[in-house]
Amino acid sequence: MTEATHSSSRWSLAIHGGAGAMSPEIMDEAMAADYRAALAQALDAGAAVLRAGGTAIDAVTAAVCALEDDAHFNAGRGAVFTYHETNELDAAIMDGRTRAAGSVCAVTRTRNPVRLARTVMEQGPHVFLAGSGAEEFARDHGMEEVDPAWFATDERRRQLHEFKARKDGWFDADLKFGTVGAVACDAQGNLAAATSTGGLTGKRWNRIGDSPVIGAGTYADNRACAVSCTGTGEVFIRVGVGHEIAARVRLAGESLAQATQAVLGEVGEMGGVGGIIAVDAQGNLTHAFNTKGLYRGFADHTGRADVAIFTGE
């Protein structure tokens, strides 16, 4: 757990790149260094916005776009494969100032799903678009489109074949290449959250997890906090993790750290695993996870710029 206190006039940012079975025993130093470098690049992309006096919504967009474009993470390029060897992408974004939100799911051609989610929020009449309709909206608004093969990588294809060979359930037991996300508090004290994912290796039937579900994997409200989650999506949806944390902060008077730990505890009691990053309207950053590792990074106005992977860092 990490928590730092700032006044509302100062900025702070947190990012994540998934929770799971990452540990020094199974991840060598070279691989860990690659992930740390990728996290640092995304963290800097978001921090540069805030450092220049930009908005929280611009910062989380920049950070998540960087993570989507990096094949290390399960979002955008490098997304995991469905059972039928395709890539289906989900994303959401929320502005804590107005509680405006945009979400997309089952996207297969839009290069940066988080940008599409933001365009839905800012230029569309709806909050949540899916599949071919989301792609049509993307084309109508001039979003960058790529061939679906752009998202695919050999390593993710190998993971799918390994998953199919096991035949032991619907979930990738390790969950070690999870969702990406960011939360921010800008210099004006406004909050934002964004989350993006390729979902679960081997997912079927257009399965959708918590990432694009407002109030579950993504939530932002200036009256409380901004939250982005990764993990067992079905449980995070049932708990309503993002909104639950915000409600405990706003209505029960709990600190951000207390609320985050309590809600993750509830997820664990229901058999879920994963991680959470959050920031409140005073710029307090916190995170929690009940797995061996969480790809994560934190930056703020003091010059802090930390990335970590394992428990205890």
Residues known to be catalytic: 179
Distance, CA of 214 to CA of 237 (rounded, Å): 9
Distance, CA of 231 to CA of 243 (rounded, Å): 16
Residues 6 or more apart in contact with residue 296 via CB below 8 angstroms: 14, 15, 16, 17, 39, 275, 277, 287, 307, 308, 309
| Kind and range of the H or E run holding 164 | helix 154-166
CA distances from 225 to 33, 92, 96, 213 (A): 31, 16, 8, 17
CA 3 to chain centre: 19
Residue 263 contacts residue 7 (beta carbons within 8 Å)? no
Distance, CA of 157 to CA of 78 (rounded, Å): 10
Q: Provide the token pair at 67.
A: 């993570």
Tokens 């059972």 sit on residue: 83
Question: Which amino acid belongs to residue 101?
Answer: A
Strand order in 305-310's β-sheet? 128-130, 100-107, 89-95, 191-197, 180-185, 12-20, 293-300, 305-310
Q: Provide the token pair at 127.
A: 């909050």
